[in-house]
Structure 1
Amino acid sequence: MPVQWSSAHCGGAWIISGYDEVAHALRDPRFSVRRAARWINSGLGLHTADSHAQLRFKRIFSRSLLFLDGRAHRRLRGILQPGFKPAQLAQLAPVISRLTDALIDDIAKDGSARKGFDFVSRFARPLPAQVIASLMGLPARGPQAFIDWAADLATFIGSPTPDTALTEAAQQAMQALCDYFAEVLQTPTQLDPHGLAVRLLEAQQQQAITQVELLAQCSTLLFAGYETTRNLLGNGLLALLRHPEQWAALQAHPQGLRNAVREMLRYDSPVQYTGRRLLDDVELHGQLLRRGELAILHIGQANHDERRFSDAGRFDISRDEGMHLSFGQGPHVCLGAALTQMEAEIAFGALMRAFPTLALGNEPPIWQPAGAYRALQGLALVF
């Protein structure tokens, strides 16, 4: 059933899994993303009093672009959008190529890597963090701790019911991020004048955004851009290497990279589902969803809807059956979709050229615990 009630999920929720039904919900303004406070509270424990850190954590998250609807969402998105226009991304392409080549060179020059290396830690994790830092125009591409901070926030966001440990780790990561950005933004001369950080700082000076909104968007850009792209790189390469005929076909015809990346996103979506709260009663596929209820929009299952994609469980880089839902639709369609697509195309192209004999190692892939993100923790490779 494309729409069904589950009492086991998040204390009770509508699971929407059909392609058309998920696409409809993503576009329907009655499905609201403003759910941060109730969701964050679930990890604090019933008897835990709000501390200053917890209150600040809620405040920052609730002002993130990810959890705002309506005018507030449109205002913040309008400030950020110019940084993701084609002309801006075209300027970033050579930077991504240089970062990619540097990571590949480190692997290629490491004699022990020929016997096996972990793709996630050596490539999939560092590249997106470095790219986002470059997009934002941060000095020296940001601190090394960026990856850990982003990972802690993504783990928290990806959990349907974050426990106290996950929540506290995310709080500490958010505090560290806010402290870092607050310090860096005090001296804008060390920032790239064309980066998103300067754009946000100018918006604050013009009173278009508040200090809290400024810090919230900086933090959001980091972990949202990092997590989606790193999972695409890991999941996509695993799919290619598990289907060596597809890997060989792509090597023979690298001009098919754009379509191949789209199929990677459809086949094993980096974001498996997203949540919404009903602002009003909605009838969907014969079911009545009532105001205040939680809806889980299962993007991963929608991308495998046999009504939309023929033989949907088959990985086929030549597939041409329309767009997946991995970047969403409607007002909350992923702001960095074009950047993620471009980054993956550059990365996979460089990997094919540098390591034509790349193959899976003897150790099986290690997955992170199931949640909103489909994420590899380790992927052993040889070349």
Structure 2
Amino acid sequence: MPGLADWLRGWRTPLAKQQSAVAAGPLDFSEPGFVQNPYPYFARLRDAEPLHRSASGAWVFSRRSDILAALADPRLGNAPAPYAIIGTRNRDRYPCAEVAGNTLPFLDGPLHTRLRRLFAQAWTTQLRENPPDIETHARRLAAQCRAKGRFDLLREFATPLAVAVIGDVLGVPDTMRPALHADARFFFYLFTHLPSHEVRAQTDAAVLRLREGFGRLLDDPEAAPQGVIAGLRGLEANELSPEQVLDNLALLWADGIGNVDSGIASAFAVLLQHPKQWRALCAEPTLSANAAAECLRFESPGQFIGRVVLEDLDWHGQALKRGQVVLLVLASANHDQHQHPDAQRFDIHGSGPSALSFGRGHHSCVGAALARSEVEVALRVAAEELPQLRLCVRTLEWQLRIGHRWLNALPVAVD
């Protein structure tokens, strides 16, 4: 196995050489080499073991064809695993488990259908009648960053852009955004490993504060006179509890920040690591839509989604038992050369495979189109306003956050 320094240079190493250096064995999502560059591991699994039992005992699906089939398979459910901290057995014990049991990603059947229809209707109506002015926000932030010369593109451009846009869409007042943003980061622990009792307690406190904050906005028309929040008032009449409405508002808020700002930052990271591609975008900013799609495919902020086996079944000759966890690695599907010969090549001009970064089907991300638009506008504005943008570090640092691919920072400069 190569040393950490070798993996830190992994993005410069040809994929074939990286893949050959990845040892076989149970996949460990917390292993430093995997955190820094998971794609050689996924490539090995696609080639040698498309159905893999990870170190945690979960079944890992890495091929696009299997993942698409699994996303449509009713024998795989969305409720948390029975033994998970956020599982149903802990609903009365931990607020994070109660919130998980109320939110769309963990629901199936009629409740999921009803909730998604009502939220999607309010969301779509808001975007159609009062779309957010992404470009104005992006140009304001780009001007501020250009004046600094050196800045962290994640925290000083991508994050404030994501907060401003989702705040406008939902109708969150400016004064409440900082506090709700601080709690939003903990919401994502519902979708990943809770590393300690301390983090679980912090997550419990954060989701309750989110519920309280959105409760105030939902109850007070003067505090949130417009946006999705205004469109959701009275949903309890549709046989929904107040907590179900509030917790899914918190989901839209958290997802509209966490995966969006990470997606924007990762898009810039990929482009700046491919200078010819960045220069091509700067020369022709109208390529921004294609560039955004390619960046989200090539470096997905959400790496995988979980499912639970609802009944014993056979897959690739392996017996999957009821209650076992299945991980659908969307990021691997996006790189699957078995489905598209150029899937492992980054090219903003190309017509590569469509990305699965936001899922597919009934459980796909409600805000996917808005997220793509934010990445697209961010890239176009930067290509026009900050064409001399460059990385200030040789090695990017990624968070140890299982299931997500989020940068710690993105130090850049404008020459």
Taking structure 1 as the reference length, the TM-score comes to 0.89
Task: Report what 1:102 is aligned to.
Answer: 140
Amino acid at match of 1:165: E
Deviation at 1:4, TM superposition (A): 2.5
> Per the alignment, in what secondary structure is the counterpart of residue 189 of structure 1?
coil
Instruction: Go from structure 1 to structure 2 and tell me whether the alpha carbon gap of 1:162 and 1:353 turns closer, same or farther (over 3 Å shift).
Output: same
Deviation at 1:37, TM superposition (A): 6.3
Task: Report what 1:79 is aligned to.
Answer: 118
Task: Report what 1:62 is aligned to.
Answer: 101
Task: Report what 1:355 is aligned to.
Answer: 386
Between 280-289 and 350-359, the greater mean CA deviation after superposition: 280-289
Q: Percent identity?
A: 30
Task: Report what 2:228 is aligned to.
Answer: 196
| 1:83-162 pair list within 5 angstroms | 83-85=122-124, 88-89=126-127, 93-109=131-147, 113-114=148-149, 116-140=150-174, 142-154=176-188, 156-162=189-195
1:214 aligned to 2:245?
yes
Amino acid at match of 1:143: R
Q: Does the CA contact (< 8 Å) of 2:91 and 2:98 recur in 1?
A: no
1:175 aligned to 2:220?
no
1:16 aligned to 2:61?
yes
Amino acid at match of 1:126: P
> Per the alignment, in what secondary structure is the counterpart of residue 15 of structure 1?
strand
Q: Does the CA contact (< 8 Å) of 1:282 and 1:289 recur in 2?
A: yes
Q: Does the CA contact (< 8 Å) of 2:333 and 2:356 recur in 1?
A: yes
Amino acid at match of 1:16: F
> Per the alignment, in what secondary structure is the counterpart of residue 219 of structure 2?
coil
Give the distance between the partners of 2:176 and 2:376, measured in 1 at CA.
Answer: 24
Between 265-274 and 282-291, the greater mean CA deviation after superposition: 282-291
Task: Report what 2:302 is aligned to.
Answer: 271
Instruction: Go from structure 1 to structure 2 and tell me whether the alpha carbon gap of 1:301 and 1:170 turns closer, same or farther (over 3 Å shift).
Output: same
> Per the alignment, in what secondary structure is the counterpart of residue 378 of structure 1?
coil
Q: Does the CA contact (< 8 Å) of 2:64 and 2:336 recur in 1?
A: yes
Deviation at 1:41, TM superposition (A): 5.0
Give the distance between the partners of 2:410 and 2:359, measured in 1 at CA.
Answer: 27
Instruction: Go from structure 1 to structure 2 and tell me whether the alpha carbon gap of 1:158 and 1:168 turns closer, same or farther (over 3 Å shift).
Output: same
Give the distance between the partners of 1:51 and 1:217, measured in 2 at CA.
Answer: 16
Taking structure 2 as the reference length, the TM-score comes to 0.82
Instruction: Go from structure 1 to structure 2 and tell me whether the alpha carbon gap of 1:17 and 1:311 turns closer, same or farther (over 3 Å shift).
Output: same
Contiguous gaps of at least 5 residues in structure 2: 1-47
Deviation at 1:339, TM superposition (A): 0.6
Instruction: Go from structure 1 to structure 2 and tell me whether the alpha carbon gap of 1:93 and 1:363 turns closer, same or farther (over 3 Å shift).
Output: farther
Q: Deviations over 1:267-305 (max 9, x none)?
A: 111110111001123333333322221101111111111
> Per the alignment, in what secondary structure is the counterpart of residue 328 of structure 1?
coil
Q: Does the CA contact (< 8 Å) of 1:153 and 1:170 recur in 2?
A: yes
Give the distance between the partners of 1:191 and 1:31, measured in 2 at CA.
Answer: 38
1:290 to 289, 301, 321: 321
Between 352-361 and 206-215, the greater mean CA deviation after superposition: 206-215
> Per the alignment, in what secondary structure is the counterpart of residue 208 of structure 2?
helix
Deviation at 1:333, TM superposition (A): 1.1
Task: Report what 1:45 is aligned to.
Answer: none
> Per the alignment, in what secondary structure is the counterpart of residue 89 of structure 1?
helix
Q: Deviations over 1:90-132 (max 9, x none)?
A: 55555222222222222233xxx21x21111101222212211
Give the distance between the partners of 2:96 and 2:190, measured in 1 at CA.
Answer: 13
Instruction: Go from structure 1 to structure 2 and tell me whether the alpha carbon gap of 1:181 and 1:168 turns closer, same or farther (over 3 Å shift).
Output: same
Output the aligned Cα RMSD.
Answer: 2.3
Between 128-137 and 55-64, the greater mean CA deviation after superposition: 55-64
Amino acid at match of 1:254: P
Amino acid at match of 1:73: H
